[in-house]
Amino acid sequence: MGEFSRRTGVSQRLLRYYEEQGLLTPSRRPSGYREFTEADVATVRGIRMLLAAGLSTATIAELLPCMIDDGQILAPGCSGLLPDLNRERERIDEAVAGLLAARGKLDAIIAATAPAVTDDPEVCYASGAA
């Protein structure tokens, strides 16, 4: 597993996690050692791409077997995956909108903050603000 970790740039701990989640299924030698192939390297690359795209491991487990890896990017093997991918995009859009709203509220709080009358941070704590 150490060599495979070096080849993929993914920690052994994460590789074990991918295996536990059913995302990676290396064959086993009679000794119990995992045996990884070039296809497993491509699988790890695909997992990393889909994780970077914001997908959960459960969603990746559903979609990855139907994806085509050209060595650069993953593409759906058929248009039947588009509803699932669009659903994930909508979920990410909602999360982005929520973060932007939170940032807007924080900006308003920052803008409403009275200028400091002193540079002593203890003054804020002494007045009960913490």
Q: For the chain, what are the domain ranges? A: 2-126
Non-local CB neighbours of 59 within 8 Å, separated by 6+ positions: 50, 84, 88
How many other C-beta atoms are found inside a 10 Å radius of the C-beta of residue 49?
Answer: 17
Query: What is the pTM (predicted TM-score) of this model?
Result: 0.74
Q: Are residues 37 and 66 in contact, defined by beta-carbon separation less than 8 angstroms?
A: no
Cα-based distances in Å from 53 to 32, 99, 121, 129: 33, 17, 41, 40
CATH topology of domain 2-126: Multidrug-efflux Transporter Regulator; Chain: A; Domain 2 (1.10.1660)
**Mind giving me the DSSP string for 54-95?**
T--HHHHHHHGGGEEE-SS-EEESSGGGHHHHHHHHHHHHHH
* Poorest-pLDDT segment among 18-27, 93-102, 110-119: 110-119
Write the pLDDT tens digit of every residue in 14-42. 999 999 999 999 989 999 889 999 999 99
pLDDT in tens, 39-58: 999 999 999 999 999 999 99
